[in-house]
Amino acid sequence: MSDRDTPEQGTGTREAQVANLFDLRRIIGGLFLLYGVVLVIVGLGDSGAEISKAAGVHINLIAGLGMLALGALFVAWALLRPLGRQLQEEERKRRAAGGA
């Protein structure tokens, strides 16, 4: 493996790698937003029997709201740390270190 010492080469552009990372934040965010919506809807329709099963805690509703918050947090993170800035930081670090 000739490119072992310089991983930057041959792994696609830095943009592609960071886009990969961006995807993960979006995936986690998206999954939890979806789960949150489902749980909130289920939670709003929960009968008394279901609530008393969970020791009187509206667990579907509370967990659903929590998941909405977590999902929103991840999506916000992905949007607030724009890819361009992250790329620039990478480059600056690399140059400051004098490496690669």
Partner 1 sequence: MSHVPLAGDAAAGVLAASDVRLDVNAVDYGILIVYFVVVLGVGLVARRYVKTSLDYFLSGRSLPAWITGLAFVSANLGATEILGMGANGAQYGVATVNYYWIGAVPAMVFLGLVMMPFYYGSKVRSVPEYLRLRFGDSSHLFNSITFALATVLIAGVNLFALALVLKLLLGWPILLGIVVAAGVVLAYITLGGLSSAIYNEVLQFFVIMAALVPLTIVGLHDAGGWGGLQDKIRQTRLGEAGLHALQGTDPGHVTNPIGATWIGIVFGLGFILSFGYWTTNFAEVQRALSARDLSAGQRTPLIGAYPKLLIPAVVVIPGMIALWKIPHLGGGDANLAYNNAIPLLMNEYLPNGMLGIALTGLMASFMAGVAANVSAFNTVVTTDIIEPYLARDRPDAFYIRAGRFVTIGGILVAIGTALIASGYQNLMNYLQALFSIFNAPLFATFIIGMFWKRMTPAAGLWGLVAGTIAALVTYVGYKWAGWFTFGSDLDESFWGAGAAFVVDAIVTVSVTLVTRPKPVEELQGLVWGMVNKEDAAVAAGHDRWWESPKLLGFGAIALGIVLTIIFF
CB contact set of 14 (below 8 Å; sequence gap of 6+):
8, 87, 90
Tokens linked to 60: 């579907």
Candidate residues 37, 50, 72, 83; the one interacting with partner 1 per rule CB under 8 A: 50
Does position 10 interact with partner 1 (CB under 8 A)? The reply is: yes
Calpha distance 80→77 (Å, rounded): 5
Q: Could you list the residues that contact partner 1 (CB under 8 A)?
A: 1, 3-5, 7, 10-12, 16-17, 20-21, 23-24, 27-28, 31-32, 34-35, 38-39, 42-43, 46, 50-51, 53-57, 59-60, 62-64, 66-67, 70, 93, 96-99
